Amino acid sequence: MLSVQYFIVFLITEIIFVKAGNSVDFDKKRPFLKYYETISYDNNALHQHHQRLKRATNEEERLIPLDLFAYQRKFEMILRRDAGIFADDFEVVSGTRSVPTDISFIYNGELRDENGSFCHGSIINGHFEGFIRTQNGTFYVEYEKTHSNGKVDTFMYHESDIDYSLMKDAESYELTLKKYQLLEQMSLKVKGESPTRKKRSMDLSRTTCLLYLKADYFFFQRFKSVEKVISQISSYLVSVNSIFEHVNFNGIKHINFKVKLLNVLQEKDPSSPMNSAYIGPEKLLMLHSQSNWNSYCLSYMLTNRDYNGVLGLAWNGNSGNEFGICSKFAKYDKAPDTDVTLNTGIITIQKYGQYLPARLIHITLAHEFGHSLGSPHDESPNCANFISNNNDNGNFLMFPYAMDGNQYNNDKFSTCSIHYISNILQVKMDICFVESGRPTCGNQIVEEGEQCDVGSRSNDSCCYGAKLGDPLQCTLRPGKQCSPSQGLCCNHTCTHKTSGERCQEEAECTLETYCTGVSPKCPKRPPKNNYTLCNFGSRICLNGMCRQSICVKYGLEQCDCDGNDLYEKCQLCCQVPGNPYSCRSTKSAELQPIFNNTPIYLPPGSPCGHRQGYCDKLFICRYVDADGPIARLKNSFLYLIESEDVAAWMKARWWAILLIILTLAALMAGTVFLFGRTVDSEKDTGVNKSSLKKQSQRNRTVYCEEDITTSAYLQYETRL
């Protein structure tokens, strides 16, 4: 039986020197930043907009505009909710206790005036934190309480403003090289003993690696809340995914990571061996590995401990079940009594007592994931540059220690790393990866990078099917003009439909459209005139979408109808903006000049009664009664569906109350008459018989008391 060798890959970094007398003034708490700018915006308005978004009903209301001023420019962001890095069954726990999961504060977006830009971040208590990718690089936005009065400072810095002077320390450079050469020898031993598997066909739609992440108590203490922990992790993984998703691992594309379970330790556990702040990184990784992580592709711990320059550790993946992705819980040969799962790694966000900038954490996590997927450090001269420091493009992501970070190659995999990771994915991807929902040739949806998509059909006359593989799959056949899979304006002869042929019908807010004769796609439907009525006449069209209430057309705003009439509650009511006392139905006398006493009803399913009910098909407000069927029975019995006053009901139906009283009195009299007779005792009963009867009664009383006592005790035990 082959002895399983193992090794841990260290990410060694060097000491950063902050030069005295630097002309750029920066906070001593942020020695990693050479420059940053403090920014301000209306936090209360942003918080209120975020809260309103929870009740938004249309697409326009689901967008948050946010303008930031820094670096002599205006960043006009358009943000929308996006929790794509969390699995559908994402769960948050704290130890063994479940924690309410809310990820509604995570946003993605873009800059309004720059195509190809990307924004990601969170909005917590009116504060935005995240990053903005532009044509001129990436800007990072962070905030922190820096004053005793609780005032929060928000600042922005560019990726080039991070101080990477650690790269110029020759002593640390030599130490790193020696560590790398030692690990290289261990790596060769492991490679020689790793089991091999025969390559097999893969399901290319299974490209998502589900994660278990544990944020230890030290990590939690850095951010103080579960929301901020989730925000940080979201930022980490969005950046990591942007690195992996764009790499072609020998035909395997769109590799990405999602969080399935997040464990946030909000309190110290004195009984845990990981509780101490002085555990070394190797011991911490081994302790974290001593759990069964079979349900996850990878399991990582996030901490905020100072490991003197070591930012991360991970087991390097191989093609067997021992290390890296998809590893299984098994005996550890160096400790036969210990079961471990070695699909694990750790990341620390601290170095030499200082919190790292976001970009360095992103690169560190991507580096460690690279190890978990099977890539060792770059060892070929074509991939690593140990001799010369004058590489204009910089070293690649899997270089043995931290890089400049802002050079072209720093967040990219070398050809060596791509080769290693490709081999591991081909063997292990089907074991623990899941379908990602990413663009896939063969799903009959034309997506980015595809000319057409007819599924797996190989006999389609216009388009090559997915079974043919690269480079033919999802491309047009020679001489064919188009494919019906591209749009409604391509016929089955693989040519464009004639100009003027209708391809889309008229809708509430858009007109019908016609083919152009030069494109397979049906043109975008032109909008109808603004203020055209839609949605049963209760709303108006704006720019081709049924967006606003008809009240807006007349300078009013929609409101909830008051009153006791359940029919009226499902009528459209308008009010003067900001004046709830002016809320009236469209059939009211006050709004007669506008609506001519015509009631406009809300569409079925609309909320009514201050959002406590819904309108049915008969335009009656049906309340969702939290008391359930008992309350509905009560209402039906008392005829209080119209919410009548109880006193008025009694006054109007006095005869019913009198009838009920007389009926009850008659029932009581009859009961007394039938069952109120007493039976005289038998006077001829002897004394002995009477005493025996009394003794029997006493015995029964004792037994009864014993039964009651026993039942009470058992009930108490059950509650325990």
Looking up tokens 């002593």, which residue turns up? 171
Q: How confident is the model at residue 222, as a pLDDT?
A: 92
Query: Quick check: 174 pLDDT over 70?
Result: no
Mean pLDDT within 590-608: 82
Per-residue pLDDT band at 716 (split at 50, 70, 90): very low
Three-state SS at 211: strand
Q: Any known ligand binding at 362?
A: no
* CB contact set of 249 (below 8 Å; sequence gap of 6+): 255, 418, 421, 422, 425
Closest CA to 87 of 193, 211, 198: 211
Per-residue pLDDT band at 61 (split at 50, 70, 90): low
User: Mean pLDDT of all residues in the chain?
Assistant: 76
Three-state SS at 588: coil
Exposed e or buried b per residue across 528-542, where buried means at least 16 C-beta atoms within 10 angstroms of its C-beta: beeebbbbeebbbbb
Tokens (6 digits) for 255: 């590799």
Looking up tokens 């946003």, which residue turns up? 107
Strands 137-145 and 152-158: antiparallel
Q: How confident is the model at residue 698, as a pLDDT?
A: 44
Looking up tokens 């960043």, which residue turns up? 75
Query: Quick check: 345 pLDDT over 90?
Result: yes
Q: Write the pLDDT tens digit of every residue in 523-549.
A: 888 888 888 888 778 888 888 877 788
Helices (H), 82-162: none
Closest CA to 164 of 343, 33, 295, 2: 33
Query: Quick check: 643 pLDDT over 70?
Result: no
Q: Any known ligand binding at 288?
A: no
Residue pair 497/517 in contact by the 8 Å Cβ criterion: yes
Per-residue pLDDT band at 646 (split at 50, 70, 90): low
Q: Could you tell me which CATH class the domain 8-15+165-434 is placed in?
A: alpha beta
Least confident of 208-212, 405-409, 657-661: 405-409
Q: How confident is the model at residue 147, as a pLDDT?
A: 58
Residue pair 329/339 in contact by the 8 Å Cβ criterion: yes
**What is the C-alpha to C-alpha distance for residues 348 and 365, in angstroms, rounded to an integer?**
9
> Do 8-15+165-434 and 533-623 show the same overall fold?
no
Of 369 and 136, more confident: 369
Q: Write the pLDDT tens digit of every residue in 568-588.
A: 888 888 988 888 888 888 888
Mean pLDDT within 159-182: 52
Mean pLDDT within 423-432: 88
pTM of the model: 0.57
Q: How confident is the model at residue 403, as a pLDDT?
A: 58
Mean pLDDT within 393-409: 71
**What is the C-alpha to C-alpha distance for residues 256 and 241, in angstroms, rounded to an integer?**
5
Of 380 and 452, more confident: 452
Q: How confident is the model at residue 197, as a pLDDT?
A: 44
Q: Any known ligand binding at 367?
A: yes
Query: Quick check: 172 pLDDT over 60?
Result: no
Radius of gyration of the chain (CA): 36
**What is the C-alpha to C-alpha distance for residues 475 and 520, in angstroms, rounded to an integer?**
14
Of 167 and 636, more confident: 636
343 phi and psi, to 5 degrees? Answer: -95, 40
Q: How confident is the model at residue 231, as a pLDDT?
A: 94
Query: Quick check: 621 pLDDT over 50?
Result: yes
Q: How confident is the model at residue 215, as a pLDDT?
A: 94
Q: What residues are labeled active site? A: 368
Q: How confident is the model at residue 385, as a pLDDT?
A: 62
- Fold classified for 533-623: Echistatin (4.10.70)
Query: Quick check: 421 pLDDT over 90?
Result: yes
Query: Quick check: 678 pLDDT over 80?
Result: no
Query: Quick check: 718 pLDDT over 60?
Result: no
Closest CA to 163 of 26, 318, 287: 26
Q: Write the pLDDT tens digit of every residue in 203-235.
A: 677 889 999 999 999 999 999 899 999 999 999
Q: How confident is the model at residue 148, as a pLDDT?
A: 60
Q: How confident is the model at residue 386, as a pLDDT?
A: 53
**What is the C-alpha to C-alpha distance for residues 73 and 63, in angstroms, rounded to an integer?**
22
Q: Write the pLDDT tens digit of every residue in 8-49.
A: 333 333 222 222 233 334 455 567 788 888 888 888 889 888
Architecture of the structural domain at 439-523? Irregular (4.10)
Strands 97-99 and 513-514: unpaired
Mean pLDDT within 546-574: 83
Per-residue pLDDT band at 4 (split at 50, 70, 90): very low
The domain segmentation of the chain, as residue ranges, is 8-15+165-434, 37-83+101-161, 439-523, 533-623
